[in-house]
Amino acid sequence: MEVKVFERVHPREYFNLFSEKGIRPDGRSLTGSRKTAVRVGSIRTALGSAMVKCGSTTMLCGTTAKVINPTGAKVEFAPIDVNVELLPLCSAKYRPGRKPEESYHLQELVAQHVRRLVQPSSLELEFEDMMWSLSLDIYCLEDDGNMDDATLLVAMAALKDTRLPEILSSEEGYHVTKSRTRTVDFRELIVPVSFGVVDSRVVVDPDSSEEALCESKVTIFVDEKGSFRGLSKSGGSVTSKDLLSTCSKLAVQRAPALFSQLSN
Amino acid sequence: MKLDYLVFAWAATVLVEKANPRAQRSHSDASFTNLSDVDLTSMKDSVDLGDGADGLREYEQKRAAGRRDGREASELRALKVEQDFLEQCDGSSRLACGGTVVMAAVYGPIECPLKAQLSDRAIVRVDVKGASSTVSRSSKWLEKYFRESFEPVIATGMFPRSAIVIALQVMQDDGSVLATGINAGMMALVDAVVPLRSIVCASSVAMNSNHTLVLDPTQAEQGEAVVHATFAFESGGGLVSCKTWGFFEDERSFSNAASIAEQAAGKVQAFLQIASNRKVNESHSI
């Protein structure tokens, strides 16, 4: 049987032929990640933008801002809205029309991540009861697996690249200047490292064919000092504590590369 | 009527066979019927936590959490469950965990539209309606989370080209909605006699600014927490799913939280099994 046909008809057996030997169909080891690149500032019309390529998975993010009047109570989380668009162009999985479930998942993931990491005080304006509210528009240009990591990275990179305009007050009212000097400050940066579990083997940074075979997905959050900060496991089979600690160690190894990409 | 009884009895034996070894003590005896025989608070002694034991002990020592409702840090809210009260669906349950009430209805296995059918197994669909009347974005995300928690334990391979629909309605939200939703859904699946590989029980833990871990946080406690997480465990032990809001300080506080949640999940599971047994025993007497 031809290799391509075998891959289509028996995807699991095809993958196992490689994983038994400790490698994957694209040549990576089980613990190897794809080349990740972060580029900022490509969209001139947005206040901040970034593009992340993790292998073939490409995410693009632009930020815009508007002024809001918070209702007086101290703002605990930064007001950031997230919109994730998964268009049919990025993968055959998504059809035109209703937003796929994945996009709601990514919206929730990014929103609750960045709202806690961005300092609300960096968005507060000098005028009474006014603050910036940011909107992130994230587009997937290609979905080749592990969108969770790419989306979180692109959101953080775009926020880091964001420069807010100055607002001056005069007798006529408020006046938005063209100067873009104000930055968005982070409490700290925390990156995600995602794993797939295929037949009880942990694979780092699964691509789309591996994701389809995964029995569960685990995401570990690591901070700049290299400490474990959180774990997210989205259903699937049961994972043992050993497997989770393996993931944790691998995540700590992978994190510095992601941080260095973000800081460029 | 007789057939219903047989099916229920089978469901009960399925539950008992798949019983969590920790809970076995309470219902492996066939004569068990008395609810007061089960001492849920002493169940933690029979659990082997391994590495988590130190963390648990340490956390137990600073138990004075000063919670608004007077609970201890490791205390669950009162659980109340009602089953089989909806006529049209195959199984239903309403679970109240303190002020959080979630109602679940299960239809399954039922006919599935041709486009959505899978040739080798049933699809699992979850519909979530939040406490407020509008459809919020978060309820869409919740549907994915719930589906991924229920799907692994449902024996979907037994019903190709069918659908199993789980409808969850959050009646009241006073914190730990995700955990209560999973527990309510599981109860409804048992009530509907959907074949299950094991039981999944969930509980949530919050860490407040004093670095105290509190179990089963209320809405207010969730709001002021630095980090809160919902864990779902399978009856044999083992993490099925986990979702965190915020970030833990380090691996140790995470594993402490996971240990506490695992204990609580065991208690919830024992409660659910008691409730199911009671129901079977009542229908026994008909």
- Structure tokens belonging to residue B84: 């089989």
Contacts of B149 in chain A (CB under 8 A): 235
pTM: 0.83
Q: Is the pLDDT of residue B222 over 70?
A: yes
Q: Tell me the average pLDDT across B205-212.
A: 86
Interface contact flag, A228 B236, Cβ < 8 Å: no
* Pick from B193, B173, B181: nearest CA to B104: B181
Mutate to test the interface with B, among A232, A233, A243 (most CBs of B within 10 A): A233
Q: Tell me the average pLDDT across B125-145.
A: 79
The per-residue DSSP string of A135-201 comes to EEEEEEEE--S-HHHHHHHHHHHHHHH-EEEEEEEETTEEEEEEEEEEEPPBS--EEEEEEEEETTE
Query: What's the pLDDT score for residue B56?
Result: 65
Query: What's the pLDDT score for residue B139?
Result: 77
Query: What's the pLDDT score for residue B54?
Result: 61
Query: What's the pLDDT score for residue B3?
Result: 46
Q: How far apart are CA B240 and CA B155, in angstroms?
A: 16
User: B162 vs B12, which has greater pLDDT?
Assistant: B162
Lowest mean pLDDT across A98-102, A254-258, B30-34, B268-272: B30-34
Q: Is B137 on the interface with A (CB under 8 A)?
A: yes
Interface contact flag, A229 B238, Cβ < 8 Å: no
Q: Is the pLDDT of residue A111 over 70?
A: yes
Q: Mean pLDDT across chain A, nearest whole number?
A: 90
| pLDDT tens, residue by residue, B19-75 | 434 333 333 333 333 344 444 444 444 444 555 666 666 555 545 556 777 788 888
pLDDT category of residue A172 using cuts at 50, 70 and 90: confident
* Sheet bearing A131-142, strands edge to edge: A36-40, A48-54, A57-68, A131-142, A80-85
Mutate to test the interface with A, among B144, B149, B153 (most CBs of A within 10 A): B144
Query: What's the pLDDT score for residue B21?
Result: 41
Query: What's the pLDDT score for residue B38?
Result: 45
Contacts of A115 in chain B (CB under 8 A): none
Contacts of B240 in chain A (CB under 8 A): 233, 235-236, 238
Most confident of B21-35, B80-94, B120-134: B80-94
Interface contact flag, B240 A235, Cβ < 8 Å: yes
- From the list A221, A236, A240, the residue facing B148 with the nearest CB is A236
Residues with Cβ within 8 Å of A4's Cβ and at least 6 positions away in sequence, in order, are none
**b or e along A210-247 (b: 16 or more beta carbons within 10 Å of the residue's beta carbon)?**
bbebbebbbbbbbbeeebbbbbbbbbbebbeeebbebb
Q: Tell me the average pLDDT across A44-66.
A: 93
Q: Does domain A26-263 have CATH number 3.30.230.70?
A: yes
Lowest mean pLDDT across A69-83, B114-128, B248-262: A69-83
Query: What's the pLDDT score for residue B45?
Result: 43
Query: What's the pLDDT score for residue A171?
Result: 78
- Based on its alpha-carbon atoms, the radius of gyration of chain A, rounded to whole angstroms, reads 20
User: A197 vs B62, which has greater pLDDT?
Assistant: A197
pLDDT category of residue B13 using cuts at 50, 70 and 90: very low
Q: Mean pLDDT across chain B, nearest whole number?
A: 79
Q: Where are the domains of chain A?
A: 26-263
Query: What's the pLDDT score for residue A147?
Result: 94
Report the SS3 class of residue B281.
Answer: helix
Mutate to test the interface with B, among A241, A247, A248 (most CBs of B within 10 A): A241
Query: What's the pLDDT score for residue A161?
Result: 92
Residues 234-263 of B with CB under 8 A from A: 234, 236, 238-251, 254
- Which residue type sits at B52? G
Q: Is the pLDDT of residue A114 over 50?
A: yes
Residues with Cβ within 8 Å of A215's Cβ and at least 6 positions away in sequence, in order, are A197, A198, A199, A236, A237
Shortest Cα distance, chain A CAs vs residue B199, angstroms: 12
Q: Is the pLDDT of residue A139 over 90?
A: yes
pLDDT category of residue B202 using cuts at 50, 70 and 90: very high
Nearest CA in chain B to A110: B245
Query: What's the pLDDT score for residue B4?
Result: 47
Query: What's the pLDDT score for residue B35?
Result: 40
Residue B27: CB atoms within 10 Å = 19
Query: What's the pLDDT score for residue B53?
Result: 62
